[in-house]
Structure 1
Amino acid sequence: MRTVLDARTSSAYGSRSRGGVHSVLDVETALAAADTAAHLRDRLADGEKISGPAARRAITAAASTPRFEGRIVPRTFAKKAAKFLARDGVVLYDNPDAFLICAFKHENALCDPEPDATAPRQYACQTDCGNTVRTDRHARDMRERADEIDQLAAAAPERIARRLRRNADSLRVAADAHDATAQSAEDLA
């Protein structure tokens, strides 16, 4: 929804800037970010390894982000959510389509966020960004997706099959890079 209702395109006609639906998006985004931090904290506690330029920042963020326990969200939570999202560098955004977590820090972002943005543009995620973090689960998911793409390539015309195989190969290279550089949370602390 944040992509569709980007503040640049939806803050004019029929909207009141960051009020209305955008405050609801802030609440949902803050809850999703808290879930991402909690899941990362749990996976690291289970021994999963982490890699990427923002790995240390992600470990710190995961340790300091409160867990949402399913309480009722009051109207006043929208302001708290906006304040939570404004914590530059310590809010984690899961991007399963890019097989990574973004430890969003505005100055490092390659997704070209607006000057006052508090969240990355997940549809414009760049894998070589300084905010990226990968876990062992991301590497496994990349390999599974590469296998699926290889199956598609087997049934595709040759020119398309070559592109698909290149895509699958790049996913495997990224997964191998994670395996080569991944460390436990204790090693990074």
Structure 2
Amino acid sequence: MAVYDNPNTLLMCVYQRDRALCHRDGVTESPHLDRCVSSCANIARTDRHADQLRHRAAAMEGQARRLPGPVGSRLQASAARLRHLAHEHDRTRLHLQEAD
């Protein structure tokens, strides 16, 4: 198993060729990190990624307040999507359990 960090999309790719959506040919031995697909089964996030998603969402909301209608609305929608991704991470993350 190979794990690739993708700081531009705030996620990691736990690469398994047969599940990768970044390419359809199925022959590449590494992911195309510039083509990450949000519904890919290889995606994983850490708590740090979730915090960075929230930070980026806050920055987008700040920009959206200074921009006119349609552009500001698109930024608000993007910020909401990032917050949703962070919330989903929090809701579904795995926790280590202490041994008894």
Is the shorter-chain TM-score for this pair beyond 0.5, marking a shared fold?
yes
How big is each residue's C-alpha offset from its partner over 1:26-53, in whole Å with a ceiling of 9 and x where there is no partner? xxxxxxxxxxxxxxxxxxxxxxxxxxxx
Whole-angstrom CA distance in 2 between matches of 1:105 and 1:185: 24
Aligned length: 98
Match of 1:150 in 2: 61
Question: SS where residue 92 of structure 1 aligns?
Answer: strand
Whole-angstrom CA distance in 1 between matches of 2:17 and 2:35: 14
* 2:41 is aligned with 1:130: yes
Q: Is the 8 A contact 2:18 2:26 kept in 1?
A: no
Question: SS where residue 40 of structure 2 aligns?
Answer: coil
Whole-angstrom CA distance in 1 between matches of 2:17 and 2:55: 31
Q: Which amino acid aligns with 2:76?
A: R
Q: State, as a whole percentage, how many aligned pairs show the same letter.
A: 34
Moved over 3 A (4+): none
Question: SS where residue 85 of structure 2 aligns?
Answer: helix
Larger radius of gyration: 1
Please list, as runs of the form range in 1=range in 2, the aligned pairs for 1:48-63 lying within 5 A after superposition. none
CA RMSD of aligned residues (A): 1.5
Question: SS where residue 97 of structure 1 aligns?
Answer: coil
Residue 96 of structure 1: how far off its partner (Å): 1.2
Whole-angstrom CA distance in 2 between matches of 1:186 and 1:129: 27
Gaps of 5+ in 1: 1-89
More helix by share: 1
Gaps of 5+ in 2: none
Q: Is the 8 A contact 2:15 2:42 kept in 1?
A: yes
